[in-house]
Structure 1
Amino acid sequence: MSPDDDAYDSSGRLLAEERPGDNAPPLTVSELSASLKRTVEDRFGHVRLRGEISGFKRAASGHLYLCLKDDNAVIDGVMWKGGAQRLAFAAQDGVEVIATGKLTTYPGRSKYQIVIDRMELAGEGALMALLEKLKAKLAAEGLFAPERKKPLPFLPRTIGVVTSPTGAVIRDILHRLSDRCPTDVLLWPVLVQGQGAAEQVATAVRGFSAMDGSGPFPRPDLVIVARGGGSIEDLWSFNEEIVVRAVADCTIPIISAVGHETDTTLCDHAADRRAPTPTAAAEMAVPVRAELLAGLGEAGLRAGRAVRRNAAQARERLEMQARLMPTPETLLSPQRQRLDDASLRLQHGLRHRLTEARAHLSEAGAALRPPLLLQYLRRAGERLDRLKPRPDYLTRALADRATALDRVSRHFASLDPDLPLRRGYARVMASGHVVRSVGAARTAGEVTLHFQDGTVGAVVDGSAARTSPASPRPPRRPPDRPDQSQQDLFSR
């Protein structure tokens, strides 16, 4: 073997071989990764890290993935679904937190990370920074705009309260409402702090807003979201975005009474009215019943005084108008005078008419004297004598009328349709009608022959028969006309 071969063997071998005395056997990557994992988890089984959240995202499975960083380093972190559900705030980028968990490795990428069991905000400063950031975001969406605020009802019939059923808040509200103006209260019990409190408060607000009054409970006219005082951590549920959006979207006027007078939450900004305390919220909700009764009494007195004053003024105006109006005697005196004049004129008219009637009767009676009547009767008798008929005229007229009647009778006898039958003729009938032509007889087929002494039926066969020339009919003698030379009896 050459010196070059010895150099090659000392610097590196083409094939790996076991050397005598070598106590570092080769490890697989998986073995090394598992060894590192055990070492890291044993050494850092419980750690608390302070850092700022970066690259935060929530997977569809519910797990949280994020990075914790400071000025010089970054570490990946994961929080499983169970721990994420217990998280007391909404994690997001830029929030400084203290994460408690254990370190582990991820062999798939040769990275180490922290598995977070619990995560908290890093002091009140971080909490306030998160609060200001969320407040700016919601204000930019217009959830705190004044034009969104709804006016509170003057006297609500039903008030919905969202608070804890066991705390002093609900007792203070009920006590204050009973002192001022008793009204119906619907309590929606919720948690007011801790895990799940924000979801319960948001659900209660949306539930009141969705009520339509058709169920067993009436729809509230006003909603109060209330909680007693506490630290910012205790009140943090009312700063959650889900609660703020539920309050802003509520269709019922809502009063926020969270904490004491110095405590302010985002729920207060989204509500239609903020109350410094739950007791103050009850005072805002209803007026004082005694003051209402006193106001009603005062209004009734004022209304009575106004009515009486108006009646007195109307009476005065009526009396003034009555003095200006004429009396009945003044109004009726011209009519009475006209009635007297008409009565006098009627009497004079009747007497004048009676006088004229008597004069006319006297004139008519003068024309009815007996000599005039006798003369009129004599003239009428003379006219009657001239109109008496003479017997000779009547006799001659009767004789003329008898002669004319005899001529007419003879003429009617010559028109008798059965007279030709006596001379041997027959009348041909078909279907009740006289057959007047050969064509009509052929068309009828069956005919009836009427003779002087009866009728017989016959069938027309359609053959032509020899006919003898008809003898000429003697000319018809014109009827005698009455003598027109006879003078009419009544002609003049």
Structure 2
Amino acid sequence: MQDPKLRYNSRMQTNTDIQTPKRDTLTISQLNRQAKRLLEGNFPSVWIVGEISNLSRPSSGHWYFSLKDSNAQVRCAMFRTSNARLRFQADSGQQVMARAKLSLYEARGDYQLIVEHMELAGDGLLARQFDELKHRLFQEGLFDQQHKQILPTLPRHIAIVTSPTGAAIHDILTVLGRRFPSIPVTIFPTPVQGQAAAAGIAKAISLVNQLAASGSLPVDVILVSRGGGSLEDLWAFNEEVVARAISQSDLPVVSAVGHEVDVTIADFVADHRAPTPSAGAELLSPDRQEILANFTGYEQALIRRMLQQLESSRQRLHWQQTRLRHPGSRLQEHSQRLDELELRLKNSWRNRCQQQKLGIDLIQSRLQQQTPAHLTRQLTVRYQNLYRRLEQQVAKQMTHRRQKLDNTMHLLDAVSPLATLDRGYAIVADAKGQVITNAATATVGQSIHTKLAKGAIKSTVVSIEQDLT
């Protein structure tokens, strides 16, 4: 079969009779593949900064988004194996710094970046550094409540670590002058913004502690403060050197940085946090009007207490006066008491003697009962009683035996053959003395012996009559 391309060329030659040069053509896939190789082979990994937009997270786990600045944007892909290693949650609108390789998506011919690593930039980077330092200091125990110091109720001297030209120092001095102007204040000027700010703040806190320890300055509390600003403006108070200086301070430290919504590492480490510089001044200074009102209340309470004490003392004095009597009356009572005790003593002695006498009589009676003569008499009486009881028992036994013998004799008479003979019966026996009870056993002419109730008869059997029943 002929090649269609050859047929086409022959037709062209036939129709036009013009000899055209041979062209090198590429498919779209080939073009995109070569462009991809060109990009990936000539551009190494690059770092770019931009804002995430149009972030998509399909079920495959890969991320697809765009990175943009004010003038341009580029498509990006971050595969699951790479985005799983991120230490923050990516979202649209975040400013990030990404390491990526240039590539091209062949199916659409889209120029794109394959992101291998990504981290927050600008405020996002600062926020991550903030969280990392906060977590590390928390693990070390710098935020523990057990390390927090108690603020003085009425400070003797306040040290303020801040910028001498900022709005914060003006607010602090205004509040202190209004609430309690007699509290001495020493300002330790230091920058509160910029690269040298953190070291300056830490040095000022250390200096205050040195002066207080040496007695050069009677400071008993430190107020670290500045006005509000962005996260970068307040960053000096998120530095580790400031946190360490606050933690190592022997004096209690109050952190009053920024506005109420601003939170810094210094707030967590400090012994107390005030939401604003003015609030920090109010926290350290008592209200003069409140103290005056308290003093007035104490004065009134003291007066009431003194009056109560005077009234109580007056009542006790009156009571003591009513109890106080003439000494003669007391002597009479004591004399009467002595007489009463004397009578009680005599009665007690008399009762005791009687008891002793009764005891002696009892002992003598018991001794008398233990003499041989007395014991002999007791034994004699006992012998006589026993002999009399023996005689009675013997007589009783004899009577009982005699009655029993009579009863037995009556019973014996009742069953005796002699009694039967007395009723007219007789006992017949042969010559040998054997009792004959059946006439059939006797023979005619046999000699028999008949026993009667009185006497006996010897006879000879003449005839025999047998009982036919």
TM bin (shorter chain):
0.3 to 0.5
More helix as a share of residues: 2
TM-score (norm 1): 0.43
TM-score (norm 2): 0.45
